[in-house]
Chains A and B, each alone.
Chain A
């Protein structure tokens, strides 16, 4: 039972570099999410995808893009990384409606120098 798988687990970038964080779930969930976690700020929603083919902005979308490649996969792209994007990124998925619990991946620790 893999659940939600995120890659990579760790990444160091230089300012201005780009990268894509990958996320895949094997639970046939409709909804997928990207959060960032920063000390003292909890988790903040970057983007989410309520269903395959749709994506919407969350609280902090600036500097990021997403792609819902298919029902299983939801990627997060940093086009030009900035030090302010140093954070721990979590992907999550859920069945459909808000009352269902979120299943989280184990996170990607990203440092932008």
Chain B
């Protein structure tokens, strides 16, 4: 079975500062990895995904993530955050060729002026 660990439940940061949200996964088979964002009172939206190829994946809103197979990590980064990035971020994993996405517990990013 696959699992995802998001080590930080909440990350406070000042506007224009860089941020990294951590995600580690566990799986005995090849996986696809995703980051989703949830703005208040909304459903989730896809930020970016890693399927294969380049380990650095760029997504929407200036976010990027790096797949590290040896560390089994898929950390999300942004060099300069905005107030509007305040949201909850979920890392997710699924075995290749399957349809069952397993989510982490989420990290709440709080951006203050």
CB distance from A5 to the nearest CB of B (A): 11
Task: Check A44–B103 contact: CB distance below 8 A.
Answer: yes
Residue of A nearest to B93 (CB): A98
Indicate which residue in B34, B43, B49, B99 contacts A31 across the interface (CB closer than 8 Å).
Answer: B99
Task: Check A58–B100 contact: CB distance below 8 A.
Answer: yes
Task: Check A45–B102 contact: CB distance below 8 A.
Answer: yes
Quick one: CB contact mask for B7-41 with A, threshold 8 Å, 1 for yes? 00100000000000000000000001010100001
Contacts of B95 in A (CB 8 A): 98
Given contacts A42-B90, A107-B43, contact A98 B101 (CB under 8 A): yes
How many angstroms from the CA of A106 to the CA of B45 in the assembled complex?
A: 11
Task: Check A94–B99 contact: CB distance below 8 A.
Answer: yes
Task: Check A106–B43 contact: CB distance below 8 A.
Answer: yes
Contacts of B51 in A (CB 8 A): 99
8 A Cβ contacts from A78-110 to B: 90, 92, 94, 96-99, 101-102, 104-107
B97 at the interface (CB under 8 A from A): yes
8 A Cβ contacts from A38-95 to B: 40-45, 48, 50, 58-59, 90, 92, 94
Q: Give B contacts to A, CB under 8 Å.
A: 6, 9, 32, 34, 36, 41-46, 49, 51, 90, 94-106
